[in-house]
Chain A
């Protein structure tokens, strides 16, 4: 409605368009503006592609690092699962006592499985695996203790250690052993990598924000005359800023896609080197690519950076442009 002239209907209201139709037109209008912004990018290919490439490459590094961390975590997880507690049984414990301890442990909810390796089996295994072979036959009695192998339900190092201490207190247990050291080391390395990735990602993402912001700023300045005319014929700031926000949106979409392609290519190229390392530790390791959620996340992040960067510029600069007069 007009502010100055009561009864002067303006705009879409004058058309008496139905509510549903107006609602649909809202979307049609936005899609049309989005496409025209894309067309605008197409008309200045050199500048647009440079910006998109810068965005894509800036996003590639955090994305690739994230994928590497994800794969490293996968290794560390598979080792954490293998974490098992060995309970060495006292020499003087009877078979019945071992049997009853095993039953108690099986009932414990903190424990998923208990396996008994008796001293004869252990000897046979040792004889087969070690090179002592014949020499062991000269021993008068078997020096190896009975062992209960306990799988903890919670494979976190801290929880496993607590369980180990609890089990070590059992009467017939000589001592308990948990091979944690290198597991904690691996976890520390993964954690360090994660934090480094977050720090690098924050730096690069803020760079992306400012790159978009600056590109949009230049684009606003180059259209100053046009913006003045639009203001003179009654365009609101939000009307003028919409195409620029859509430009930011497209920068985000295209930059995100580029980052996806480049990081997947990088990962594919590194595949050989990575599998060389991982095969040293674990045979059935499979390199994990980006899943759908992560892909959507990357695009969403890129789009929000594009729109956000654009918004930073339009807020300030479109407001600042005022027509200087007829």
Chain B
């Protein structure tokens, strides 16, 4: 479903973030993306969510080359890709409910259907009772889960997560990973960028390892020089 085909990305000034990256993720697969900070994890997520465009090579989703899409089509691509951000990126002066409802409002949902879907998403992350709260009043883990609910509320076929457990304790991390597994089990493709190697080792999913912009390992366990 998702395919990187000889993708390189260099930034003005000559910094090469990615060098000839090749990989595929099948429909319904769950994959970890790991590497040191600066290895290019974020760049890969940015290319998929069309925040950046590749310098050379092709990023394809369902055999559609993303770089051939027009600027006006970018919003529609992003509706198919749920993104969970490391720093949550919530609207701080809106309630939890409003935050989660945002993708639905953008797609034109109204009334009962919208409320039903928001409640379903909040229920999955266990925050149904906090829907009237402002994000500021929630803990870091709860804010992260609001971000997850927002990413999945419109049932995207592809889910990206950038360091979703970045500053959470192990127990919370496990909870959040279980939420991802639950989505994966209903057929959603999940790509999780993380440097939490212990977590990866426990979960035993396919892992892509990046080092200085190159793919050095694509296996069930992270490569040895990472561990």
> How many A-B pairs with Cβ below 8 Å?
92
Q: Is the CB of B73 within 8 A of A326?
A: no
Residues of A contacting B154 with CB < 8 Å?
10
Q: Contact between B42 and A325 (Cβ–Cβ < 8 Å)? A: yes
Pairwise interchain contact A10-B79, C-beta atoms closer than 8 A:
yes
Q: Identify the interface centre among A228, A234, A235, A324: most chain B CB within 10 Å of its CB.
A: A234
Interface residues on B, range: 35 or more
Chain A hits for B73, CB < 8 A:
3
Instruction: Kindly list chain A residues whose C-beta atoms are within 8 Å of the C-beta of B15.
Output: none
Which A residues from 221 to 239 make CB contacts under 8 A with B?
A: 226, 228-236, 239
At the interface, is chain A mostly helix, strand, loop or mixed? loop
Segment at the A interface, from B61-69, B118-126, B212-220: B61-69
Contact A3–B106 (Cβ < 8 Å): no
Does B22 lie at the interface of the complex (its beta carbon under 8 Å from any beta carbon of A)? no
Q: Is B205 an interface residue (CB 8 A)?
A: no
Complex partner residue of A236 from B75, B80, B160, B162, CB under 8 angstroms: B75
Main secondary structure of the interface of B (DSSP, over half): mixed
Is A15 among interface residues, defined by CB-CB distance under 8 A? yes
B83 in contact (CB, < 8 A): yes
Asked if B109 and A11 sit within 8 Å, CB to CB, the answer is: yes
Quick one: which of A56-100 are within 8 Å of B by CB? none
**Chain B window 60-96, contacts with chain A (Cβ cutoff 8 Å), 1 for yes, 0 for no:** 0110100001001101111110010110011100000
B51 contacts A326, C-beta separation under 8 Å? yes
A8 x B51 contact (CB < 8 A): no
Question: Which residues of chain B have C-beta atoms less than 8 A from A231's C-beta?
Answer: 75, 78
Is B113 an interface position by the 8 A CB rule?
A: yes
Contacts A4-B64, A226-B91 given: A11-B107 contact, CB under 8 Å?
A: yes
Residues of A within 8 A of B85 (CB): 232, 326
Interface centre among B62, B108, B150 (most CB of A within 10 A): B108
The answer to whether the Cβ of B52 comes within 8 Å of any Cβ in the partner chain is yes
What's the minimum C-beta distance from A254 to chain B, rounded to whole angstroms?
24
What residues on A are CB-neighbors of B61 within 8 Å?
4
Query: What count of chain A residues pass the 8 Å CB interface test?
Result: 29
| A-side contacts of B109, CB under 8 Å | 11-12, 15
Q: Is the CB of B91 within 8 A of A229?
A: yes
B127 to chain A: closest CB distance in Å?
A: 18
For residue A5, give the distance in angstroms from its CB to the closest CB of chain B.
5
Tell me, in angstroms, the Cα distance from A15 to B162 when the chains sit together.
31
Question: Is the CB–CB distance between A326 and B107 below 8 Å?
Answer: no
Residues of B within 8 A of A226 (CB): 91
Partner of A232, one of B42, B89, B108: B89
Smallest distance from the beta carbon of A18 to chain B beta carbons, Å?
14
For B150, give its contact among A3, A233, A323 (CB under 8 Å).
A233
State A15–B89 Cα separation when bound (angstroms): 28
The answer on a CB contact under 8 Å between B107 and A232 is no
Pairwise interchain contact A5-B80, C-beta atoms closer than 8 A: yes
Identify A5's interface contact among B69, B89, B91, B157, CB under 8 A: B157
Interface membership of A136, Cβ < 8 A:
no
Residues of B within 8 Å of A3, CB to CB, are 64, 69, 73, 76-77, 80
Contact B103 A325 (CB under 8 A): no
Contact A11:B108 (CB < 8 A) given known A3-B64, A233-B102, A326-B46: yes
A322 within 8 A of partner (CB): yes
Tell me the smallest distance from the CB of B120 to a CB of chain A, in Å. Answer: 14
B101 → A minimal CB distance (Å): 11
Bound complex: CA of A25 vs CA of B90, how far in Å? 27
B45 contacts chain A at the CB level, 8 A cutoff: yes
Minimum CB–CB distance from A20 to chain B (whole Å) comes to 15
Interface: A29 (CB within 8 A): yes
With contact pairs A4-B62, A5-B157, A10-B154 given, residues A29 and B106 touching in the complex (Cβ less than 8 Å): no
Interface: B110 (CB within 8 A): yes
The chain B residue with its CB closest to the CB of A3 is: B76
Q: Does B184 contact A (CB under 8 A)?
A: no
Say yes or no for A140: interface residue by CB 8 A criterion.
Answer: no
Q: Supply 9 further A-B pairs (C-beta < 8 A) apart from A15-B113, A233-B83, A325-B51.
A: A4-B62, A5-B80, A231-B78, A233-B150, A234-B77, A234-B78, A326-B45, A326-B46, A326-B83
A residues near B, CB below 8 A?
Answer: 2-6, 8, 10-12, 15, 25, 28-29, 226, 228-236, 239, 322-326
| Cross-chain pairs A/B with CB under 8 angstroms, 22 sampled | A3-B69, A3-B76, A4-B80, A5-B157, A6-B62, A12-B107, A228-B89, A230-B102, A230-B106, A232-B78, A232-B83, A232-B89, A234-B75, A235-B75, A235-B106, A236-B75, A239-B106, A325-B45, A325-B46, A326-B42, A326-B45, A326-B49
Closest 4 pairs between A and B when the two form their complex, measured CB to CB: A11-B107, A234-B79, A234-B78, A12-B108
